[in-house]
Amino acid sequence: MTALANLTRSLSPSSIAPFINKLMENYKTRRPMYISVILFFGIYLIFNKITRVPARLRHIPQAKFFPYLKSIISFESYDETASKITLPASKKSKEGLYVVFDAYGWTVHVTRPEAAKKVLFKTDLFPKISTGDRRETLFGRFAMGPSLPFLNGPQWKAQRKVANPAFHRSMPINLFGELTQKLFNQYDKMLDKPIPFHELMIRWTLDAIGIAGFDFDFNAIDDPTSVWVVRYNTIMKAFSNPLFVVFPSLETRWISLFPKQKQAHVELTAFLNNIQEIIKKKRETLANEELSGATTKKQNDRDLLTLMLEASAEGNGTLTDEELQYNLCAFFTGGHDTTSNQLSFAAYNLAANPEIQEKAREEAIRLLGDEPKDIIPSADQLREMPYINMFIKENLRHNGTATMVFARKTEEDTDLEGVFIPKDTPVVVDLYEIHHNESIWTNPFKFDPERFVPGGEADQLAKMGSTWLPFGNGQRICIGMNFSLAEQRVFLPMLLRKYELSLPENSIHKDKVVMNGYGVVSPKDLQITLKRRY
């Protein structure tokens, strides 16, 4: 070290100049070689960073990089990825933690309820991660702005204060029932062959969230080719591409290489412009109503946008048009995409388990009668369906649409169940892995609504921590949970009273449901055979 210091002190600008000049001459004559060397080392450094776990996280078991990457880019069904890669990685330690390189870089994943409870309840220690450059991705532009799912601290509390009254007042049960009757009309036109159940559920929930969310009728049930339905479906399909979910930079920096994704951005721009126009008109309508003293709808039937604007007028806070737009789009994710997937999984589980289907049907008939006509359940009746509610909970566990919660990031050095987690580490709670962990649930891959009988397995497991998490938990639990559950509680008994469900003989789902997607999953090309009961 001393010799090196002496050599450095002996150097002067005049002595270095010849060396610099010689280096520049070599660069001019050997430029291609220099560039190749720089590119090689650049690629090597990036490759090394991506494929090697950082030293600060090497004490945690790793989900192997290349098998995980292969699973993602080959669009493998998420349950296959879990069974082959993530669940085995989680079993390498009693704490159930593992690390993997995902959309947030090297991330700690949580698969045990004790650690999950700490992550979800200690929001000061585990705040939502910054969306960063994901704001320019398709999903980022759609929902990752200043909205409830992504804000922290005082900003989140201010928006929650406005949104809470809206969700408590909005429970459009009659709307859900009327849309279900409308959907049945479409079913009845297709009974000679298996119907595209998931496609129709997408249309049903799109109309539901459009009308209940901001009083806009997509008319998706009756006209699946309308410009707004096609536009919205294009956007949703592009969201579910796992390649862009795991590697957002492909979309933000290399979008020109992916023309379909680029076109989806064009469609999204038009969709967001429409939302802004709706917000503007809604403000004008409410202002006119205030002047005239007239209202057109009952409180329960007023859309969420109206109720949020009314909550602001009552002194609960104020949301800008931009904040309203992002929140409405976030509600779309919970009120449309996830609910349509969840109801499709429910139809699959009814068709695949005839004895469970019959038991649920008996309860629907006992509650609503067996008169040969459609009956819309009342708000009181929605609370009097113990077995159907058990079925819904098991469906959310066994085939939950969300496979993980939005990422958090450690605010300071901490530990999870005794495992050190450094500051600024992304942390994700794996919902699918918790719901299918053999060390938590008995025979977790079996569909069994009886788990949720009062005092049964689910109630006992709740003492361990967060074991049933389809909507998250803690302060940040999904604000649309009751809205989604109401949709399911209205639709399912009406469906069971009118139709018997079965899987077609050639169904790709004969052995188990085949999934699409990564963070949000859906059944792939789900066809269901329906037989009318009246």
Element (H, E) at 528: strand 527-532
* Torsion region of 404: left, alpha or beta (phi above 0 gives left; psi -120 to 50 gives alpha): beta
- Residue 444: other Cβ atoms inside 10 A: 18
DSSP state of 404: B
Give phi and psi for 62, each to the nearest 5.
Answer: -110, 140
Extended strands (E) in 340-432: 408-409, 414-416, 419-421, 426-429
**H/E element holding 15?**
helix 13-29
Confirm if 486 and 176 have CB atoms less than 8 A apart.
Answer: yes
Paired tokens of 470: 């389809």
Residue 121 near residue 110, CB atoms below 8 Å: no
The answer to whether residues 61 and 89 touch, using CB atoms and an 8 Å cutoff, is: yes
Radius of gyration, CA atoms only, the chain: 27
CA 219 to the chain's CA centroid: 24
Here the tokens at position 18 are 């010849």
How many CB atoms sit inside 10 A of residue 157's CB?
A: 12
Token pair belonging to 289: 């109503």
Sort residue 515 into left (φ over 0), alpha (ψ -120 to 50) or beta. beta
Cα four-point dihedral sign 481, 487, 490, 494 = negative
Write out the two tokens for 83. Answer: 């069974």
CA atoms within 13 A on the CB side of 41: 5
Both structure tokens of 240:
């579910």
Residue type, 195: I
Strands 527-532 and 499-502: antiparallel
E strand spans, 46-86: none
CB distance 135 to 123 below 8 Å: no
Q: How many CB atoms sit inside 10 A of residue 57's CB?
A: 17
**d(C-alpha 75, C-alpha 84), whole Å:** 14
C-alpha dist (Å) from residue 210 to 17, 265, 308, 329, 376: 70, 20, 15, 10, 20
Residues whose CB is less than 8 angstroms from the CB of residue 461 and which lie 6 or more positions away in sequence, other chains included:
113, 440, 441, 467, 468
329 is in an annotated binding site: no
Find the length of the chain.
Answer: 534
- Taking the C-alpha atoms of residue 500 and residue 509, their distance in angstroms, rounded to an integer, is 18
Which residues does the annotation place in the binding site for heme?
478
Which residues does the annotation place in the binding site?
478
